[in-house]
A and B are shown apart, each in its own frame.
Chain A
Amino acid sequence: MNSKTKDCLSKTYRDWLWVILVLAAFLGGYSTYFILEHHSSSPEPATQSVQHHEKPKIELQTVPQSVQHHEKPKIELQTASQRRIDVPLLTPWLAPIVWDGTFDEDILNEQFQGRNITIGVTIFAIKKYVIFLKLFLETAEKHFMVGYKVNYYVFTDRPNDVPKIPLQEGRKIITLVVQNYSRWQDISMHRMEMISNYCHQLFFKDVDYLVCLDVDMKFNDHVGVEMLSDLVGTLHPGFYGASRETFTYERRPKSQAYIPRGKGDYYYMGGFFGGKVQQVYKLTKACHEAMLIDKSNRIEAVWHDESHLNKYLFLHKPTKVLPPEYMWDKQLLGWPAFLRKMRMLAVPKNHAKIRNK
């Protein structure tokens, strides 16, 4: 009798647990992709909260009712209260990592529209890289800071090859003729020098924010004011999720870009940084001066300007960090689950043909 009772009980209990497990798994999967309505994490002890205010009338809502009051009844990937739990949302120094789903575009546009800002974009199309300009600018017109004033600063040695692209209102292309270098590493590194030089001549006066991009990219999805902040760095897509030990920081103490083992927060991409003009000026000036010191010591950082950028952003933490959504390579890295949008993509190129020509 005893064992029979126990067997019956066991079956009941197991069934119940299976029901809960299946329900839990379903809700977990459903709520990860379709965030259901709610305003915050846990309902408050409603009775007690009111006493704190000494109100005569207790304005309690039972929870089912409160949910129905929500203004936005649509169940979708909302911004306000839904949460990305699959990715880190903040750096340890409280800089937001601007993942899709964490911000509300409307609120941010409201904040920025009133300030009449101009965003400057610096792109370097030296030698054969001019061929990337057309796609870059065309996609930028569709996706980059739509509705804001944008100045494209095209640094090139072939001003005649700069394509004429129809631009939206308030946007313009400014071509700056600069010298080229024979080695592609030098071209890449001298970007820092050129940006810092032009700051005094142009950027301080004309723009509020600077975004310094690689030109062999195309915009694929919305890139807007959510990325603007005092100092912005982007996580290198090839190193996202990797252990700090695998980061290709400069490891030789002789270089100015040296970061010892066990140090460093993230591996930032050399081809996407930005911020307020003053901050970008400081960054580019510091990187350029560090590269000059390295040159006099006859050492070149393993990843050139990217190593120096990483050193600078290690010492001067960025105020916003952009996730790999803002710089991705679909051919090399595929489409992992944490990537909801690919905002900028690398354009496939033949390295041997393009460089050093």
Chain B
Amino acid sequence: MNGNSQTPQPRRGRSGNPADRENRRGEEDSQTPSHRASPANLSQIRLQGSARIIKDHCADWNNFMERWDELNDKGFQLANKIINLKLHQEKQVQSTEALLAHDSGAESEKTKDEICYPRKHLADKMHNITVHFEGVRRLEYHTSIDEDPEPLFDTWTVDRFCEISEELEGMYSQEIKLKESIVQDIAHQMSRDVLMTYISLWHHQPYLEERNHLMLKSMLLETGWVDP
């Protein structure tokens, strides 16, 4: 994922006259391959300012989601181990229950430390992206002559990036809350059905909708990280 080329002209201090805007666009066209960075020419354009921030954060979203999936697999293995221990515990005599409960409790703490906190850290970073996007949106509205800013890339305005980022962040933050709740409760449950449900909830991540990867890919396509 590389973006190297000329710098688009900054869009500040312009007149509100539509004719002037057309003339300005012509001048910009003569100086840069395109006054807007479209996926077709992003490889030739070095972005700055808002477009750069947006593009970099889209890459961050991709990296964070990949990291999340890795952590989910690790967490699943640990959670599975705890649950197998507890299900095995049901078949043991009562005198060993305290010992095994301690073991599964220790494993539960280990799960929380090893998996939940890094994941929480990721969720915080995802939140920060949305905050940055919101900052870019405010800046664009502030500096734009028109009521609505123009798209920074091909068709998406900053609003669209904000919407997608907020939606993704919402999914992941709800999912981390669910996982924290599971980790806190897992050691206290003995019912096989409940434990199986917990492991299933962990693995299938109900708050992460199937379209989250589609939303990510749309962002990457728009910003030129992937080819159409």
Are A and B co-members of a single complex? no
